[in-house]
Amino acid sequence: MLTVLTVFEVQQRILNSLNSTRTEVETIPASTSMGRAAAEVITAPEMVPSFARSTMDGYAVRSADTFGASESIPALLKLKGSVLMGEEPPGVLEPGEAMQIPTGGMIPSGSDSVVMVEYSEILGDQAAIYRPVAPFENLIRVGDDFQKGDIVIPAGRLIRSQDVGILSALGFLKLKVYSKPRVIIFSTGDEIILPQEEPRSGQIRDINGSSLAAQVTESGGEPEYRGIFPDQEEGLKKAVLESLDDADLILISGGSSVGERDVAVKVIDALPGGGVFFHGVSMRPGKPVIYGMSGGKPVFGLSGNPVSALFSFLLFARPILRTMQGLPPFPPFIPFVEALLDTNLSSPGGREDYVRVSLHQEPNGEDIVLARPVFGGAGLLSTMVKGDGYFVIPRDVEGIAEGSPIKVFLF
């Protein structure tokens, strides 16, 4: 019999089984680190910026010299040369002086603010300032971005383009990251053939091998597809045993029938140093998921149904891959599309229902998005191909009324 746990219980049990296992740390060029998770804390080795910079074209001044300045009574300051981009200023700014400065130019010592060129005028060797500026106006101070020693990139940060930029700014050319988890994928089933083969009556081409591999890549892993095995314990067990050294995670798909399920359960249960932790979860699609371990390595038996396999992957295997890469198992904030359900929908209750929907802009409805369920069981991949995303009907809810607002997570 299947022991049926909730999605949340299964996720917790899986994460507890991992003990925060991480892959090995490797060092990669910072310029290619986007999408990887930092395996080290990057602190600012210096102040950023390391010198005060103007944010305007204008005149570096002492703000006190401009107090009270107006259109009718400008402050008249002695012009003292120009700051050139990338150069030190030509001298120290003394009281009563102004120095021409471009945006990005280094603020001279003695100056605490910049007057915009629009509010000034050159009169011979003097600058007439028509508006007062406050201290620190129109400049970036030393350390405004980061103070020396500040944490710039925390460990576990998923690197984005701005993070790549700040690493450049600090002169970090390399970054330590957790290596991509290696995921070995097996398909099983006497009826399954390779995509390049021509099916005879009763046979179908393998779907899960390629779609799971694509999901692994998307989730930051390195997939390796090891082909199709018949529903026979010995062959599959041998192949899985041989893969243990090369894999951080193993996915076996197939086995939606009772007989096949038994093969996957038996194989996983017979692996050294572990065995089946549980099988079955109260969700649809995806109920018949099997989870076990061997020598600390997680092994999944996923349904042969392509929709079940993908949802099981998203909910249960992706959090493992994230953990192994040093990320939190679930993103702290998950964006969604707000939509209105365009029909009444019943759900069996007692299990979480992952309903695939297509999205439609209401023709004259301003920004209203309608979600239309794509009907069909877990065996129909078309429900995901035609769908834009999914929403979740909780276990204790038996139906959702037409027009209800729902949160749609895009595929």
Contacting its own copies within 294-333 (CB under 8 A): 304, 306, 310, 332-333
Binder of its own copies out of 203, 232, 343, 346 (CB under 8 A)? 203
Q: Does 110 bind its own copies (CB under 8 A)?
A: no
Of 45-53, 69-77, 233-241, 273-281, the segment contacting its own copies by CB under 8 A is 45-53
CA dist 66 and 77 (Å) reads: 9
Nearer to its own copies, 276 or 310 (CB): 310
Residue from 19, 201, 272, 396 binding its own copies (CB under 8 A): 201
Q: Which positions from 51 through 70 interact with its own copies, judged by CB under 8 A? A: 51, 53, 55, 57
Residues 263-292 binding its own copies (CB under 8 A) are none
Of residues 18, 79, 84, 128, which one binds its own copies by CB under 8 A?
84
The verdict on 340 binding its own copies (CB under 8 A) reads no
Q: Which 225-264 positions form the footprint of its own copies (CB under 8 A)?
A: 231, 256-260
End-to-end CA distance of the chain: 32
Q: Which is nearer to its own copies, 24 or 367 (CB)?
A: 367
* Cβ atoms of 347 and 390 closer than 8 Å: no
Residues 134-163 that bind its own copies (CB under 8 A): 140, 144-146, 152-153, 160-163
Position among 68, 124, 195, 272 found at the interface with its own copies (CB under 8 A): 195
Could you give the C-alpha distances from 289 to 149, 215, 261, 264, 285, in angstroms and in order?
47, 17, 9, 10, 10
Q: Does 382 bind its own copies (CB under 8 A)?
A: yes
Per CB under 8 A, which region of 10-18, 49-57, 124-132, 276-284 contacts its own copies? Answer: 49-57
Give 68 or 171: the residue with its C-beta nearer to its own copies: 171
Instruction: State the Rg of the chain over Cα.
Output: 31
Coil vs helix vs strand at 225: strand
**Closer residue to its own copies, CB minimum distance, 3 or 296:** 3
In the numeric block, the tokens 């003394």 are attached to: 94
The region of 17-25, 64-72, 347-355, 369-377 touching its own copies under the rule CB under 8 A is: 369-377
Half-sphere exposure of 203 (CA within 13 A, CB side): 15
Based on the shown chain and the rule CB under 8 A, indicate whether residue 363 belongs to the binding site for its own copies. no
Interface pick for its own copies out of 71, 125, 198, 245 (rule CB under 8 A): 198
31 makes contact with its own copies (CB under 8 A) = yes
CB of 335 to its own copies, least distance (A): 4
Q: Taking the complex as a whole, how short is the minimal distance between the CB of residue 157 and its own copies, in angstroms?
A: 9
**Measured from the CB atom, is 123 or 385 closer to its own copies?**
385
CA distance 318 to 327: 11
Per the structure block, which two tokens stand in for 128?
């007439």
Q: Which of 36, 47, 42 is nearest to 152 (CA)?
A: 42
For position 206 contacting its own copies by CB under 8 A, the verdict is yes
Question: Cα–Cα distance between 326 and 336 in angstroms, integer?
Answer: 24
**Applying CB under 8 A, does 86 fall inside the site for its own copies?**
yes
Q: Which of 212, 265, 293, 324 binds its own copies (CB under 8 A)?
A: 212
The count of residues interacting with its own copies (CB under 8 A) is 103
Tokens 């003292």, residue located: 80
85 binds its own copies (CB under 8 A): yes
What is the distance between the alpha carbons of residues 313 and 291, in angstroms, rounded to a whole number? 11
Q: Which residue is it, tokens 């280094």?
A: 106
Any contact of residue 166 with its own copies (CB under 8 A)?
A: yes
C-alpha distances in Å from residue 321, one per residue of 7, 199, 274, 316, 318: 17, 34, 19, 9, 5
Binders of its own copies in range 169-188 (CB under 8 A) = 169-173
What CA–CA distance (Å, rounded) separates 292 from 263? 14
The helix (run of H) or strand (run of E) holding residue 279 is strand 274-279
Q: Which residues contact 365 (CB under 8 A, 6 or more apart)?
A: none
| DSSP type of residue 224 | E
> Is the separation of the CB atoms in 14 and 291 below 8 Å?
yes
28 scored as a contact of its own copies (CB under 8 A): no
